[in-house]
Chain A
Amino acid sequence: NAGVTQTPKFQVLKTGQSMTLQCAQDMNHEYMSWYRQDPGMGLRLIHYSVGAGITDQGEVPNGYNVSRSTTEDFPLRLLSAAPSQTSVYFCASSFSGGVYEQYFGPGTRLTVT
């Protein structure tokens, strides 16, 4: 199993550009989520999904869109990047039947200039 994979590893955007961060998992987990990690603030939940076709907002959803058309994939879209979105983004997944132990991807480091 590859676990949770994220692409790209690094990305530089100009203000106003759009892009999609990719996340995939091969563990057949129903739950998937996106976090951002900023210095001194810990990880904050952006959006999450409890299954294909079902998504919901987390703590800091503004400026981000998600959709979940398959169990395996959960892309995060930035429609118009802003410098405040400079961060490290982590995708996580969890099996729903049990204790919701989270498995994380390696992260995407995004810089918006």
Chain B
Amino acid sequence: KQEVTQIPAALSVPEGENLVLNCSFTDSAIYNLQWFRQDPGKGLTSLLLIQSSQREQTSGRLNASLDKSSGRSTLYIAASQPGDSATYLCAVSIAAGTYKYIFGTGTRLKVLA
């Protein structure tokens, strides 16, 4: 059974710091991996999606990498800002066409001004 883990559960950093969020999954047979941001009391906003054939995706200050063989993905945030404070979730799709995603429990990030 696929399990997705995100460590740490919470993280506080000073503004301007570069940081890395981790996502681990137990079964390397994934179709894609998606990173989301969730603000308190809000829905999920898609940040980046990496297909299983890709190694990384970039959007602005965000870079997500995928290493299927080791069951890991990282989300790199450059020059963090207070507005980056949110919970970051990763989810893996276990097979094409099944539309079943398994979510991690998230990392709650606080960027201090």
B104 neighbours in A (Cβ, 8 Å): 42
- Chain A residue with the shortest CB-CB distance to B48: A101
A74 within 8 A of B: no
From B31, B32, B44, residue with most partner A Cβ within 10 Å: B44
> Contacts A101-B34, A104-B44 known; A58 to B100 CB distance under 8 Å?
yes
Number of A-B residue pairs with CB-CB distance less than 8 Å in the complex they form:
57
The dominant DSSP class at the A interface is strand
Closest-by-CB residue of A relative to B32 is: A99
Residues of B within 8 A of A48 (CB): 99-100
Size category of the binding interface on chain A: 20 to 34
Contact between B99 and A50, CB atoms less than 8 A apart = yes
| Complex Cα spacing A96 to B104, Å | 23
B97: which A residues are within 8 A, CB to CB?
Answer: 50, 96
Contact A45 to B32, CB < 8 A, known contacts A40-B105, A100-B93: no
Interface mask (B20-51 → A, CB under 8 Å = 1, otherwise 0)? 00000000000110101000001111100101
| Contact flags A23-47 to B (C-beta < 8 A → 1, else 0) | 0000000010101000011111100
Query: Beyond A33-B99, A101-B34, is A43–B91 a contact (Cβ under 8 Å)?
Result: yes
Chief secondary structure at chain B's binding surface = strand
Q: Which of A65-113 contact B (CB under 8 A)?
A: 90, 92, 94, 96, 99-107
CB atoms of B106 and A100 under 8 A apart: no
| Cβ 8 A contact of B46, one of A35, A102, A105, A106 | A102
Residues of A within 8 A of B96 (CB): 100
* Chain B neighbourhood of A105, CB < 8 A: 43
A107 to B41, CA, bound (A): 8
B interface residue numbers (CB < 8 A to A) = 4, 31-32, 34, 36, 42-46, 49, 51, 89, 91, 93, 96-97, 99-101, 103-106
Known: A96-B97, A104-B36. 10 other contacts (CB 8 A): A35-B103, A40-B105, A42-B89, A42-B103, A42-B105, A43-B91, A43-B103, A44-B103, A99-B51, A102-B46
